[in-house]
Structure formats: structure tokens, C-alpha cells
A and B are shown apart, each in its own frame.
Chain A
Amino acid sequence: MNQGEVVIETRGLTKTYQNGPTPVHALRGVDFTARRGELLVILGQSGSGKSTFLNILGGIDRPSSGAVIFEGQDIAGLGDQALTRYRRDHVGFVFQFYNLVPSLTALENVALVTEIAARPMRPEEALEIVGLSARSGHFPAQLSGGEQQRVAIARAIAKRPELLFCDEPTGALDSATGILVLEALEQANRSTGATTLIITHNAAIQQIADRTLRFADGRIVDEVMNTERKRPDQVSW
């Protein structure tokens, strides 16, 4: 897996923003590479810069300096339209609080993306990957937290993204539900071949990854290759 082609890499990535009068250095020169189909877990304390890193990779934030190279093109300097295009065609996002559209059913939430994507799968197929075919006609208010997160995963992968970014996907869930969500993510990673980055506080989750990065103080301070990925149901916390 690690020998696959590089999908995205960063060089000397920094991000500084103003918090009142004091500048905050969220990223202090991050060099990073991810290969096609890789599943990475990013660990780190709050404020370590991991979310900022993910947001920049996902094209919803811009770095102060450095390069973000996706399939050979630097996206760091792209304008709003090009970044929108990048997100639309290549990036899937999963957030801690699901961010489903409450007025759309599970299937319609997925279809929201497939309608605008270049080469999407059928929404039903995406729901099947996360094991929610039976709930496709339900609105978010009728779904449990875990189910909502799985719909969010289905929505994220339905466009067949090259990159799947998950920011604390299990943060709001109990462990049993969290495992279901991780299974869905792993299944998504396998079936779509999307390079998957999962941000978490939860160190146990690193066992399902190919590689684990640890962020502290705006830098990658540790990198561990997993020789053997565990299945999510073998993990507990």
C-alpha cells in the first residue's frame, strides 16, 4: 500500500492567524506525503494544528506559506472557484457533528453530492457501503448519531473522492457506535481506494491505520508505520 503513487503532499506548510493581538502559529512547516488508498490516523492534543492541517488539505482553509500538491498541482494558491472545484471533484469530508441537511432523507443527503459530482456512484450504492440501505428514506431526526455519521460517510464517498478527510468522526459517539462508524470508514477506504485521513483524540483508533502521525505545536512530531492494520471491531476504548 505504501508503495502506491503519491496523491497529496505538503512542503513547508505554515499557518498563522491572529487571535486578538497575538499571532497564533497553528502550523510551523509541515512536510507530509500520502499515497493512494492509504489510511492515516492523525493524533494530537487540542490546538496541536491537526484540524488546521486537515482543513488546508481539504481546501476549506488556506496556508500562510508552503505548498499543498495534489496530483502534481499546488492548490495552496488557488482561488475560491478552483478550490470549490477541487472539493467538489476530489475531496470527501466527515465532521464530528455530521452536518447532514435535516430536510433531506439519508438517500437525498447522499444524492445532494452525486448530483454535482463528476463521476459519482449511485447514492444507494454509497449507503450500501456504510450498511444503511434499510434507512435510506429516513430523515436525520429519525436516525441515531452513529447512523447519521454513516450517512455523512456515504455522502463523502459517493463522489468517489481521491481524498477522504474525517475530523473527529467518532468524537460525539459512544464506543460501540464509534466502531460501527470506523467500520464504515474502513469499508469506504477499501471499496473506493480513497486516501483517508482520520483526525482523532483517541489513540486506540491508530490501530486501524496504515500509518499514524502525531501533531504537537504545529508540527508532525512522530510518525509510526503500522505493520498490521487491525479491524475496527478488534479495537476498543
Chain B
Amino acid sequence: MVIPPLRRKALRDLRRLWAQALAIALVLAAGVATLILGSGAHRALTETRDRYYADYRFADLSTDLVRAPLSLVDDIRAIDGVLQAEPRIVKPGRPDIEGMAEPASVLLVTVPQADGLNRLHLRTGRLPEPGMADEAVVSQDFAGAHGLQQGSQLAVVMNGKRRLLSITGIALSPEFIYAIGPGEMMPDPHRFGIVWLQRDTLEQAFDLEGAFSNLVLRLVPGIPENRVIEEVDRLTAAYGGSGATGRAEQTSHAFLDAELEQLGAMFRVLPPIFLLVAAMLVHMTLSRLIMLEREQIGLLKAIGYRSSQIAQHYLEFVGLIAVCGILLGFAAGAWLGAGLAQLYARFFSFPFLHFGTDLRVYGLAAIVTLAAAMAGALQSLRGVLSLTPAVAMAPPAPADFRHSSRGVIALVPLRQTGRMVARHLLHWPFRTASSIFGMAMAVAILVASLWSFGSIEHMIRVTFNLAERQDVKMVFAAPEPMRALADLRSMPGVLKAEPFRLVPARLTNGNRSKRLAIEGRPADARLSRSLSPDLKPMPMPQDGLIISEALADSLALRPGDLVEVDFLAGRRASVSIPISGISVGYVGLGASMDIAALGRVTGEGPIISGANILLDEADQSAFLAAANAAPATGFLNVTDLTVSRFRATLAENITLMITVYVTLAAIIALGVVYNFSRIALSEQGRELASLRVLGFTRTEAASVILLELAVVVLLAQPLGWLIGHGIGRAMVAAFSSDLYRVPFVMGRRVYATASLIVIAAALLSALVVKGRIDRLDLIAVLKTRE
């Protein structure tokens, strides 16, 4: 096959300029990879979830009740829009595992029927056989964490009675993709799991013969959820129904949703940045190449090549770079995608994870990338192709610096080399600006990712050092009278115990409504406190409600407003309560009031849901053992365990993400700096050689280019901080959900770290260029006409 000469030239140019081409290709690859990774992971997660939900009939609605007769289910099924309703018993239990000191809890759930909702995906074994009361299926992660297998025995304390269960199977459920224990911030399979039991077993254990405590429903597709919820709440109110919730408020679903939201937000931002920077690099590099080949272009035109053929030649050259970038991006995207999928597989319990190759995404990535590169190329081709062959073949006039702010720069007291630097930067304002912008984007990517460390530490400090200062939170299995506190105080190691009351309620402001638990606390609580936005403890008001910022935003409430509160327990009072203050809170929606006032408005009087406890460290294990054994205990949250789990989980995820971001930012920084300095060197090689001949040392001569580079890099820093700050803010907005809000903590350390990383990458590039300057052949450069 005969390769046309121009194509051969394109290949040789590519080989000659391989380092610059590679730098551009890497930036393009980063764009392609993030696009593939982001949309791929998003799609994989969405599709996996949707398929899982559909195949295993994940319920649309669910509601907890105290106790309702099974006959109520028929009334529920008769509600317009209800396709299927399944009564269940769902109760907390405590696993009694030998050698396990820290408190753990399990959720006991009725085994779904064969044609029921929230079906189980059995990993191994079988479902419990009818009549075999002690048979149970256990959730996979919990089983894994404790080495439980089919045939293992597991002791569980149910309603105060210890019962030895025989495990018949290990399963996953669409209801618990993200299995988070009560009162916890992160899933911890060691301390929380699901145990599915026969209905009879649970009926007996919890005295619920002929009754149920939880209802799951499937709705006719397209039916407005709210109408059904209203009906369900009306029918279940008399049975202690605590309000039906849709999928949006179902813990596992909501966490998964938040994750998808984050993923989507992140990957809408990154690929455009890379493609923009790459287009700019292509433009910069190709403009210089064309400038150097101006005479060749004139010659080609003179001997009869059409402009379109010449344009095609350069587009082929850029196309080759783009194709390299695209292929690298495909490979990196697929590789990182597999990594991300594994991370999700570890984090979320899916029976399968579909990380398929969506050719459309690959196609889109390729087209967008090619387009970005071509746009950069066409921009630089325009000028030269319009020249006549005679003009093109004549050497270009020397660069005219008359207009490059001569006046201003002449006035500034600079050394001549400093003047050279200033005038160069001003002479090519587009190149300078785009290089600054490119570097700024590298800084911005880092700023926008690195702030999360500080943010998490801030979150932990505020939540656990300032707001929730208890060592242990004990939640009773059922509300207890206030005197239970006295028993608690007599337990080993208890230094202080403050009661709290949790009452499920629906808060409504106009057409906005949220369901949550209102927490009642003593007016002078010292352990669990609400914090004002300036992080000062807020005293519990006499009769008002303090709500978290997230809830205030969600319901559009401000201090002084009245909010409708429908309590979903006890006498189910409906009252209007004034908002007394807005508190800071990062996890969940929060509303709190004085515990006595809460008792008054609900009509329940002085009953409590549990207590926040300060422990003598020396007696912690004695306390936990006693608390575990106490019949009243529902579950225990040990703050240290919660925090360390939170840290460990986030550390793992964030370390991975930060590694990716740092790599991506370094690619941009290297790409921009290398191309910028190579072009500057190509333009100024002659001047540098002159300087050497005039008696400048290697370092002095190199400093002209390096100083130019330094100015670009330095100017990019504040811009990068600003853009990164903006991206960070946008991310905070995108990540905020009812489940958690991310505090925006942007400190000097974030800016400094981001800048240091980018500057390090720039220095690396600069060193390479310095090496080239050092090897300049003085004589050869000076003997040639430019």
C-alpha cells in the first residue's frame, strides 16, 4: 500500500512531536475516561438497581404500626391504586454472639411469600420451611462478617427472650441494598444485619398473633403516591401507624439515590473541563506547528495542493492524537469503571452488578473528543490557509511587540529578561489566558475534591464533639416511663444519663411535608444538644421547635413560622408549633423540642425512648454487657464505633476518589505546562541561544522561559481556587439530600495542597524543558535564519 506523502508527513510529525502529542492525548484521554466512567457507573448502578427492584418486587410504600389485625390488610388492598399489600412483622432484635463485646442489632423481618414483595435473593441455602419455627435466613454481609453459613446457629434476643436460630440460607434483599443500622451513619455489617423468620415465629415472639407491625405495598404504576399514603395513614392511624413512606424516604433507596445523584453531578462537571483544556492545547500546539510550517504550506499550495487537502493533512495529524487519546481513555475508563463497580459491589449489596459496555457512551465520548480536538485545530488553521502561496512562502515578519503594552512595561522597573517575559505573555494573550485557564482548571479539580477531607472532619467534630457528646445512646425496645432512667443510672460506669423521647410525626408547611421523628430533650441537656449555625449550644425552648437547616430548607420554614405537626404515635395529636430556631445538622432531618413540652403536646406525659449516656471509660465493657442483657434495651449506639466506622468507610471511598482526581489534575497540569513551555522554547530558542552567547548562564537563559511559566502557573492559582470554590459549592448543593448535608469547609490548607500538587507537576514539566534548554545547540540556532 502506498501511503500518500502528506499522510506520511503526519505520521512523522506525530513521531517527532510525540511528547507534546502524548500530553494532549492524555488530557483527551482523561476527558474520555471520566465520561465513560461517570456515565457508565451511573448507568450500571441505575440499571442494576432497577432490574433488582423489578425482579424482586421492591415495595413502593411501607409503613410501621404498633399492632394491627390482619383483617385490616383487606381494607388497605381496597384502596384505589394499591396493587399488592403484604403484612409483615418487623422488629428489632439483638444477636447474642459469643466474644462480641460491642453492641449489635438485627432487624427481624417476616420471610416474604413466594409471590410477595421484597423477595429475597438467596445466595446459598433455602428459605425456612413452614412449621420449622427456629429456621432463619440471614443477610449476606452480616453472615460474612460473623462467618455464618447455612447450618450455623445464631442466638437472637427477641423481645427479651433469647432464641437459638438455625440458619437455612444466606440472602440479599432489594430492601436492604444499603443496610444501615438504627442510629448509625454508615453500614457496618459486623454490628447490623437482617434476619428473616417465619411469620409464626415472630407472632409468638412479639405477641402479635393474627396481627402485623409493618406493611409493604406495591402501587399501580403512575398512581400519585401521596393519595395512597393519605389513605393508608388514615386506615392505620388507629393501630399506631407511624406514617407510610415512599421509596424516596426508604433508607436504602434514599442512600442509593444520593449516591447516584453525586455520581451524576461529578461526572457532568469533569469531562467538559478536560475536553475544553484539550481543545485549547490542540489549538496552541497546532498554531505553533503551522507557524513553523508556514513555508511548507506555501510550497504545497504553490505546487497545486488545495487548501482543503492541506487542512485535511493537519486535521489528520490532530485526528491521530485524538484517536490515541480516545483509545487511552477507553482503556482507562473501562479499567477505572471496573474498579468503581467493585467499590460499589463492596458498599452496596447487589445480587449482581451490571457494568456493561454501552457502545453509545463510547461513541459519544469519541465524537465529543474528536470534535473538541478538531475545533481547536480548525481555529488555528484558519489564518494560514487564507494566505496566498507567495505570502505563505515568505518568512513571517518578526513578531511586532509595539502593541504589547510597551508603555506600561517600559515603566515598570524590571530587568530586561523580566521585560521579555512580560511582553511575551502579553503578546499572545489568548495563549497566555488559555494556559492560565488550563492550569486553573487543574487547581480547581483538586480544590473541588480535596475540601471533602476538612469537611468530613468538621462534620465529625460538630456532630460528635459538639452536638452528640454521649458515649452511648441507648434506645429502648419500647417507650418506658421516666423512672427507667433511674435503673439506667445505676448501671455500671454511668456518669450521666439524659433522657430523650422520639415521636414520629409529619411536619407540614403549606404543600410541603416531611415525616421524621421529633426528639424531645431536657431543657438543660448537656450531652445531646442542638447547635446554632455559629456552633453554640441552643437551649431547648419552652414550647417551640428547633429544626435543622436541612428541614428548614425542605419545608421553607424560618424562625417564627408555625408548622403543622401531626404526631403519628400515642394520641396522634395535630398541633401548630412555632419554629424557635434553626440548628446545624449534617445527618438526616432533625427537629427537637423540650421533652416535657413534647410529652404535653402528644398527651403521653413523661415517657422516654431512651437515654444518652456518659460513661466512665474504665467501665465501658461492663456497661455494654449489662445494657446488652437488659430486657428494655432496643439497641445501642456507641459513638466511638460509629465515628470510626464513618471514618473508615469514607476514608476508603475518598482515598480512591482523591487518587483519581490528583491523577487527573496532574495530567492537565503536565499537559498544559509541557505544551506551553515547549512552544515558548520553540519560539524563543533563538533568543535563549543569543542570551547564552551574550554571556548568560544556562540557568539565567532558561529562567526566561521558566519565569514565563511561573507567571502562568502563579496567576492560575487564585483563579483555580475561585473556580474550585465554585465547583465545591455546586457539589455541596448537588450532594445535599434529606439524608445528609455536606458542610462546606474550604480552608487555606485545601488551596495550599491543591496548589502544591499542581506546582509540583509544573516543576516536573519545567525540569524536562530546562533539560532541553541546556542542550540548545548555540551555533546551529544562531546560524539559521528564523
Residues of A near any B CB (own CB < 8 A): 51, 55, 58, 60-61, 80-81, 84-85, 87-89, 91, 93, 95-97, 99-105, 108-109, 111-113, 115-117, 137, 139-142, 155, 159, 172
Contact of A87 among B415, B419, B694, B783 (CB under 8 A): B694
Distance in Å from the Cβ of B230 to the closest Cβ of chain A? 76
Q: Is the CB of B694 within 8 A of A112?
A: yes
B419 near A84 (CB under 8 angstroms)? no
Q: Is B410 an interface residue (CB 8 A)?
A: yes
Q: Is residue B371 within 8 Å, beta carbon to beta carbon, of the partner chain?
A: no
Tell me which of B279-287, B333-341, B695-703 binds A: B695-703
Hey, which chain B residues are within 8 Å of A87, CB to CB? 693-695
User: CA separation between A140 and B400, bound complex, in Å?
Assistant: 8
Q: B406 — which chain A residues lie within 8 A by C-beta?
A: 105, 139
Partner of A97, one of B401, B415, B786: B786
Given contacts A101-B420, A105-B410, contact A139 B402 (CB under 8 A): yes
Q: Quick check: is B119 within 8 A (CB to CB) of the other chain?
A: no
- Cβ of B399 under 8 Å from chain A: yes
- Quick one: CB contact mask for B353-397 with A, threshold 8 Å, 1 for yes? 000000000000000000000000000000000000000000001
Is B401 a contact of A113 with CB atoms below 8 Å?
Answer: no
B419 touches A97 (CB 8 A): no
A51 to B780, CA, bound (A): 12
Residue among B420, B690, B785 making CB contact with A103, cutoff 8 Å: B420
Decide: A141 and B400 in contact? CB cutoff 8 A: yes
CB pair A115–B694 under 8 Å, yes or no, is no
Give 21 A-B contacts (CB < 8 Å), ordered by A residue.
Answer: A51-B783, A55-B779, A84-B696, A85-B695, A95-B782, A97-B783, A97-B786, A99-B690, A99-B782, A100-B690, A103-B420, A104-B423, A105-B410, A109-B416, A112-B694, A113-B695, A116-B695, A139-B401, A141-B397, A141-B402, A172-B785
With a cutoff of 8 Å between Cβ atoms, the chain B residues found around residue A61 in the complex are: 779
| Minimum CB–CB distance for A58 against chain B, Å | 8
CB neighbours of A102 from chain B (8 A): 398-401, 687
Shortest Cβ distance from A161 into B: residue: B695
How many angstroms between the C-alpha atoms of A98 and B686 in the bound complex?
Answer: 11
Q: Which chain A positions have C-beta within 8 A of B785? A: 97, 172
Q: How far is the CA of A101 from the CA of B779 in the complex (A)?
A: 17
Residues of chain A within 8 A (CB-CB) of B783 are 51, 95-97
Kindly state whether residue B647 has any CB partner on chain A within 8 Å.
no
Within 8 Å of chain A (Cβ to Cβ): is B253? no
Chain A nearest CB from B432 CB (Å) reads 13
* A102-B399, A103-B423 as given contacts; A88 in contact with B782, CB under 8 Å: no
Of B398, B419, B779, the contact of A60 (CB 8 Å cutoff)? B779
Tell me the residues in window 32-46 of chain B with beta carbons closer than 8 Å to chain A beta carbons: none
Residues of B within 8 A of A111 (CB): 416
Q: Is the CB of B697 within 8 A of A81?
A: yes
SS class, residues of chain B in contact with chain A? helix
Chain B residues, Cβ within 8 Å of A84: 692, 695-698
Interface membership of B256, Cβ < 8 A: no
Contacts of A58 in B (CB 8 A): 693
- Nearest chain A CB to B129 CB, angstrom units: 89
Task: Give the distance in Å from the alpha carbon of A115 to the alpha carbon of B695 in the complex.
Answer: 11
B694-A93 in contact (CB<8A): yes
Q: Which of A60, A91, A112 has the most CB of B within 10 A?
A: A112
Which residue in chain B gives the minimum CB-CB distance to A89? B695
Residue of A nearest to B397 (CB): A141
- Output the least CB separation between A79 and chain B (Å): 12
Q: Is B424's CB within 8 Å of the partner chain A? A: yes
Bound form: Cα–Cα A81–B692 in Å? 11
Q: Which of B401-422 contact A (CB under 8 A)?
A: 401-402, 404, 406, 410, 415-417, 419-420
**Are the CB atoms of A140 and B420 closer together than 8 Å?**
no
Specify which of A95, A103, A104 lies most central, judged by the most chain B CB atoms within 10 Å of its CB: A103
CA A59 to CA B694, docked complex, whole Å: 11
Output the nearest chain A residue to B690 by Cβ-Cβ distance: A99
Q: How far in angstroms is the closest Cβ of chain B from A103?
A: 4
Does B313 interact with chain A (Cβ within 8 Å)?
A: no
Chain B residues contacting A113 (CB-CB under 8 Å) are 694-695
Chain A's closest residue to B427 (CB) is A103
**How far apart are the CA atoms of A105 and B423 in the complex, in Å?**
11
Bound CA span A101–B423, Å: 11
